[in-house]
Structure 1
Amino acid sequence: MTYPQDLKERTPLWDSNYPIRFYRNCPSQHAKDDNILYLHWHEHFEIIDMQYGRAVFHIDSKPYEVEAGDLLFVPSGALHVGYNLTDEPMSYVAIVFNASLLRMVNPDPVYERYILPFLDGRVLPPAMLKATDEIAAPYRQIVRESTAEFEAGKPAHELMIKHNFHRLFTLFAREFIPEKFVAKPLPVRHSEAFKPLIQLMEDQLSEPLSVEQAARVVNLNPYHFCKTFKKLTGRTYIDYMNWLRINESDRLLRETEWTVTEIAERIGCGNANYFTKLFKKYKGFPPSEIRRKLAGK
């Protein structure tokens, strides 16, 4: 279902390498029927972890009453809104993340069978897991461990959270993929054929391949190449190429004394202004910010 663009949430700019955010919501004012989550939708997944109090959330017009310990899973593109059910204090944690958090550059058949169907929307987890459900405890534990990791911000917490979310979706697969559901993984030959292409892309950042050239490497026409590439990586070909270029430029900014213009040329962005705009899009700040921090200013 397609919803009006004016209800689409403008997700705050996040690191494209780590597209997940945790929001702890605890309204200072609390009264029955207060709006605690405005009506909106977005292209990302969302998990709502009720901490205390009672509330009702509507997901694609279907109401779900929740209390402490309950979990809600909002699929990509679903319209959702929330209201307090009592005059008492309430709190919940909203976790918003993009499917690319779990995408793999070189997915294997097991990943394609058990994880990819959830990311592509072919299989959905349950909309709600009650705290009283026997199977709910491990899901809640993973979600709350991840929240604690994000809020503590210890070194490598990003890796811990990614690990936890792979665990989460693995449990989903064990419990909720129907026995007769047959995922249609990409043929192994496609997965294998894309490995040397990715290597070639990394080796030729200064002279990136066009879509047509890349498609010829894996013996696909451009249309099927673009579809297959996005299914494998979670990104379009152009987006993935830009992501590689910006990551390499980040390394060069930190490890060399080359100017921004020289680095832009090195990664195939001859125009320094375009490079700066592209860098800011992917990193959230201009390249000059890295040099400024390294100089201790």
Structure 2
Amino acid sequence: MAAEGHNQYMMLLSDLYPFNMFVPEPSAGTLFPPHWHEACMEMIYVTEGTAEFRIGGQQYIVMPGDLVFIAEGTIHSGYLTDGIPQYYTILLDRSRMVYADTGNLAYSALLTGRLDLPVILRSGDPHYESLTSVVATVIHEFTHRELGFEHAAKSQLHLLLAYLARFYSASSAPSAHGQIAASRRIERIKSVIEHVERHYSEPITVGQAAEIAAMSPYHFCRVFKEAVGRTFNEYVQLFRIAKAETLIRDTDLPITLIADRCGFGSVHYFDELFKRYRGLTPSQVRKNAP
């Protein structure tokens, strides 16, 4: 499941080489909404500013120079703290990327095996210089786009995978009982997020969400906030506002119709909530849109 609305793809090499890069486009205080990538690992390299990341139920304040690793299937979200940070995101399907360039099964297994990654790598940490040097080179190739940059980026990405396998290969031992239970809870939260993305234009209550997650409302609210970093109602409001802002900027639909399509009920409530999170009214955002 890929993030919607809050990041712009810089380039995709090809369908046979599944790698992409993003630059941030925040909306309503959100850098990127809660989401996950079932088949892709994600790396975020922060170059300027700070932000709040929520990764696997834990809060992290990221700073310039931080290299963030997000494993396949892990729920993550990002929020503004003080100004708009600058960072690059590398989204990488390890299995398909390795398969695209080699038929060597032993090599493929080495570079796509389970990894015991740190969430954040900072200056002075083991392997920081080796990994950030490769990531910085990939970013340079894609931002400068000189002759042969695609091939240069590919070679660096394979070097990056080799380093990750060398430094962080993990045992394939089965998870402990507590980890399995936590994983099941997260899968239920994912079901709720998917439901909101499909039905955000309709009324959605905590009770309905808790039922989808097969939890009591109290337990659901606690688990959801731990996983996402926002209450369920806050998440729904932010998601709807982000959808509404896209329609305000990219279409000529009347504000009243946008409010209805995005599940706000009344245009007065929409105006009030939108201004609370964005600092501007919907009409002001439309007026300022390019």
| TM-score, with length taken from structure 1 | 0.49
What count of residue pairs does the alignment treat as equivalent? 165
Judge conservation of contact 1:102–1:162 (CA < 8 Å) in 2. Answer: no
**1:164-203 equivalence runs, <5 A:** 164-178=156-170, 181=171
Q: 1:82 aligns with which of 68, 78, 92?
A: 78
Flag structure 1 segments of 5+ consecutive residues without an equivalent: 1-6, 184-297
* Structure 1 segments (4+ residues) deviating >4 Å: 10-14
Contact 2:47 2:65 in 1 (8 A): yes
Q: Which has the higher Rg, Structure 1 or Structure 2?
A: 1
Structure 2 runs not aligned, ≥5 long:
174-290
Cα distance between partner residues in 1 of 2:57 and 2:67? 18
Give the structure 1 partner of residue 92 of structure 2.
97
**Does the aligned pair in 2 maintain the 1:18–1:158 contact within 8 Å?**
no
1:41-81 deviations in whole A, cap 9, x for unaligned?
22322111111111121112122221000011112222110
Deviations 1:134-176 (A, max 9, x none): 4211211111110111122223222211111111121122222
Residue identity in the other structure for 1:37: F
Q: Is the 1:45–1:74 contact (alpha carbons within 8 Å) kept by the matching residues of 2?
A: yes
CA distance in 1 between partners of 2:57 and 2:37 (Å): 15
CA drift at 1:102: 2.3
Aligned residue number for residue 128 of structure 2: 136
Q: 1:123 to 1:131 in 2, by over 3 A?
A: same
Measured in 2, the distance between the counterparts of 1:125 and 1:54 equals 22
Please give the secondary structure, in 2, of the residue aligned with 1:126.
coil
Q: Provide the rounded CA distance (Å) in 2 between the counterparts of 1:84 and 1:136.
A: 25
SS at match of 2:104: coil
CA displacement at 1:8 relative to structure 2: 5.2
Query: Kindly, what percent of the aligned residue pairs are identical?
Result: 25
1:127 & 1:49 partners in 2: Cα distance?
12
2:145 aligned residue: 153
Alignment of 1:222-233 (within 5 A): none
Q: TM (normalized to structure 2)?
A: 0.50
Equivalent-residue separation in structure 1 for 2:73 and 2:64 (angstroms): 26
Matched letter for residue 106 of structure 1: G
CA positional deviation for 1:82: 0.6
Q: How far 1:108 sits from its partner (Å)? A: 5.0
